[in-house]
Structures are given as C-alpha cells and as structure tokens.
Amino acid sequence: MAEGSADMEMIDEGLRSELQKQGIYTTSLQELYNWGRANSVWPLTFGLACCAIEMIAASMARFDLARFGAEVFRPSPRQADLMIVAGTVTKKMAPLVVRLYNQMPEPKYVIAMGACAISGGPFKQGYNVLKGIDRYLPVDVSIPGCPPRPEALIHAIMTLQEKILNQKLTGPDRPRHLVAGAPSEFPVPAYGEHDLEPPSNPDVWQPPIMTRK
C-alpha cells in the first residue's frame, strides 16, 4: 500500500458485513491505528482555573469520562497525549504551557476549554491575561462556555475522537506527527518588560483581517 491514490478505497461495507457473519473481521491499518489512538486518549492533569473543576467533575461518577477511554489523567507530560487547557492562561503562565506542550510526545492534541483559553474570556481586558492559548499552540478542539458543562467536555472529547478516527495516514493531509519536516515543538515566549516576547507566534496564529471600519 505504498503509493497509489491518497484516498484508498475502504472495504465495501456489504462485503464486510457478509464476512463478519461468517466470523471473519476485516479492517485496514488506518482504521485500526486510529481506533486504538482515539479510544485511549490520555489527558494531562492541567487545570488552571475554574474550568478545571468542571473537568474533574467530568471525570467523576456522574459524568464519567472513563467510558471514553480518557480516564487516566497523567501528571507527567511525557506520558500524556492530550492537553486540556482548562482555565485562563495568564502571561506569567503562558511560557510554561508552551514548555509543557513541547514536552509531550507526538501525536498530541490540545483542547482549549472555556472562554478564557479560547480568547481571554471575561478577563480579556486584563494586562496579565493571554488572549487565547491559540496564539502559541495549535488548538484542535475549542469548547465555549464559562465554565462549559461536563457534558460539553465529553462532547469535545467525542469530537476529538472523530477527528482522530477520520485522519488519513498517507497523503497531503496526514497528521502532523507523520510529516517528516513538521515541527512538534513551538518556541517558548520569554518574559518581556511589559508583555511576552513575542506577543504571539506568527506561524501558529494570524489575526484575521478585519473588514469592518
């Protein structure tokens, strides 16, 4: 399966069900690989503020996150593959968030949970608040809310699982960890005199062109 078209035809579903009735299960390497990855996403214990409490509540008995394979919250970034940035990222904390992201092994994903992680949230006017973690890191799923309900976090994990399941392993839109030249570490901002230097990472985030006056 080396070259060939990037969209390899998947197995015909009719044929697959016929074979299954006979006790023969068929799959493709891509499906199997993605299925294993999607159903065992291990988050990093990285709660910053109030959203962290809803994240903990999502892993507790009522909103059980363990059913989705995300039960094992790893304290060490070296063992985690999902970083749920839950809470306000301040400028004092931002270099450490990026450093932790760099320490995670590929493939790694980021969920920006809550309004503060997406864009600064209610504290947007603050001098110490980073207006969204997507200024320095590539974010895969964003959950709006202040704080988002645990069900919303479960929905985000399910969205991430769908994203992983649908990733094609070959071709131009294969994931970052399979691209030889793609960076897996991002530059860590430094503490400047009044703001972080640089204030955002131009490779990761470009402010959209405002067309209003």
Partner 1 sequence: METPEQIKSRLEAAEPGARIEILPNDCPAGERSLLVDPAHALVLAKFLRDDPQLRLDYCSNVTGVDWPEAELNEKIKVKQVVDGVEKEIEEVKKTVRPGFLEVVYHLYSMELKHGPVVLRQRAANRAAGAPAVSLTSVWRGCEFQEREVFDLFGIRMEGHPDLRRILMWDGFKGFPMRKDYVAPDDFEYEPTPHDEVLEEAQKHYLPEVKA
Partner 2 sequence: MNAELGVRGHVLALESADMSAHSKNYEILPKASETGEPIGELLKVSMGPQHPSTHGVFRMDVMLDGEKVVKLKPVFGYLHRNHEKIAENISYLGSMPYTDRLDYFCSMTNNWAYALSVEKLAGLAVPERAEYIRVIMAELTRLQNHTCLIGFFVQDMGALGTPLMYAFREREKILDLFESVSGARMMCNYLRFGGVRCDVTTEWLAQAKQLVDGYGKFLDEFEALFTENEILLARTQGVGVLSRELAVNASITGPMLRAAGVNYDIRKVDKYGIYSRFDFKVPLGEHGDTYDRYMIRILEMRESLKILHQALRDIPSGPVMDPKAKLRGFRPKAGEAYGRIESPKGELGFYLISDGSANPYRYRVRPPSFINLTILEDMCLGQRIADTVVILGSVDIVLGEVDR
Where along the sequence are the contacts to partner 2 (CB under 8 A)?
A: 2, 45-50, 52-54, 56-57, 60-62, 75, 77-78, 87-88, 90, 92-93, 96, 99-100, 102-103, 105-108, 122-123, 125-129, 146-147, 149, 169-170, 174, 176-180, 182, 184-185, 188
Structural contact between residues 65 and 154, judged by C-beta atoms closer than 8 angstroms? yes
How many beta carbons lie within 10 A of that of residue 131, not counting itself?
19
Query: Does residue number 193 form part of the binding site for partner 1 (CB under 8 A)?
Result: yes
Query: Does residue number 202 form part of the binding site for partner 1 (CB under 8 A)?
Result: no
Query: Does residue number 207 form part of the binding site for partner 1 (CB under 8 A)?
Result: yes
Token pair in block for residue 181 = 């030249």
Structural contact between residues 73 and 59, judged by C-beta atoms closer than 8 angstroms? yes
Query: Does residue number 198 form part of the binding site for partner 1 (CB under 8 A)?
Result: no
* Dist. CA 197–CA 201, nearest whole Å: 9
Query: Does residue number 213 form part of the binding site for partner 1 (CB under 8 A)?
Result: yes
Pick the binder of partner 1 from 92, 122, 176, 177 (CB under 8 A).
92
- Pattern 22-61, binding to partner 1, x per CB under 8 A? ----------------------------------------
Query: Does residue number 195 form part of the binding site for partner 1 (CB under 8 A)?
Result: yes
Q: Residue 210 touches which of partner 1, partner 2, none (CB < 5 to 8 A by kind)?
A: partner 1
Nearer to partner 1, 92 or 176 (CB): 92
Token pair in block for residue 212 = 């209003």
Query: Does residue number 194 form part of the binding site for partner 1 (CB under 8 A)?
Result: yes
Q: Name 87's Cβ contacts closer than 8 Å, sequence gap at least 6.
A: 47, 48, 49, 50, 51, 52, 113, 114, 116, 117
Query: Does residue number 5 form part of the binding site for partner 1 (CB under 8 A)?
Result: no
Structural contact between residues 108 and 134, judged by C-beta atoms closer than 8 angstroms? no
* Dist. CA 149–CA 161, nearest whole Å: 19
How many beta carbons lie within 10 A of that of residue 117, not counting itself?
28
Mapping DSSP to helix (H, G, I), strand (E, B) and coil, where does residue 143 land? strand
Which residues would be at the binding site for partner 1 (CB under 8 A)? 91-92, 119, 125-128, 131, 191-195, 199-200, 207-213
